[in-house]
Amino acid sequence: MATKSIAFDLDDTLLDTSGLLVPRASKIAFDILISNGLQLSPAECEAYRLEMIKTISHQELFLHLAKKFGNALTLAAVPEAVQAFYEPNIPMGLPLVSGAVQVLDYLHNKYNLYVVTAGFESGQKKKIHSLQIEKYFKTIFVVNSLNNERKITAFRKILEMDRIAPQDLLCIGNSLSSEIKDANELGAISCYFEFGENRGAIPAETHLKPKFHIKNLSELIAVCEL
């Protein structure tokens, strides 16, 4: 493998989003739905969330619960709940996950680094600004997954910008169904960072299997031979 460029996911890869931001953001979103007729308690909402996000997005979760346990008013409130979740108030000075500073300090002088993240652009860029990591990255791509955009589009742009072959791009993230799947489809090298809320075990399907698998970001350089 001759890595020349590296694409990092943001949420639960560089930032502990599940630990630092999701609990409050999901509570606000559920409160919106409950106040608009959702027939579930906050505890029941959270139990559904923890189980269902193994296979679906939070946007899909809110819509599913509204359809199953709500009414027309609840359904009408789903966009507000989605926005509350994906554009939460971001505190300044968010910390990077353990090992990220050392990894980025080492890599950014050797490779072209990118962030390829999914969500609302304003919310994602607020996270980047709070983390104060702009200096490490050549470009930051925000993919609007809420409109079914995929990270493979950003990965292709990186290949064009850096004039490299797919196998020269390393893609790192914690979502098997997003960046790992898209990297594999493109022919890039995928590294699964097992971090954040449980999204299920690595499936048997070849197109979802990562080339590399790490459980701490500090393992990245050695495992991926960087």
Whole-number Å distance between alpha carbons of 100 and 136: 11
Q: Output the pTM of the full model.
A: 0.90
- Over the chain, what is the mean pLDDT? 94
Q: Give the pLDDT band (50/70/90) at residue 148.
A: confident
pLDDT per position as a tens digit, 174-188:
998 889 999 999 999
Pairing of strands 5-8, 112-118: parallel
**Packing angle, helices 58-69 and 22-35, rounded to 10:** 30
Q: Domain segments of the chain: what residues?
A: 5-16+92-223, 22-86
Whole-number Å distance between alpha carbons of 24 and 73: 23
Closest CA to 6 of 178, 181, 179, 215: 179
For 5-16+92-223, CATH number?
Answer: 3.40.50.1000
pLDDT per position as a tens digit, 25-38:
999 999 999 999 99
Tell me the backbone φ, ψ of residue 108, rounded to 5 degrees.
Answer: -70, -15
pLDDT score for 159: 98
Q: Which two tokens stand for residue 66?
A: 């509204």
- Give me the residues paired with residue 191 across strands: 172, 212
DSSP 178: I
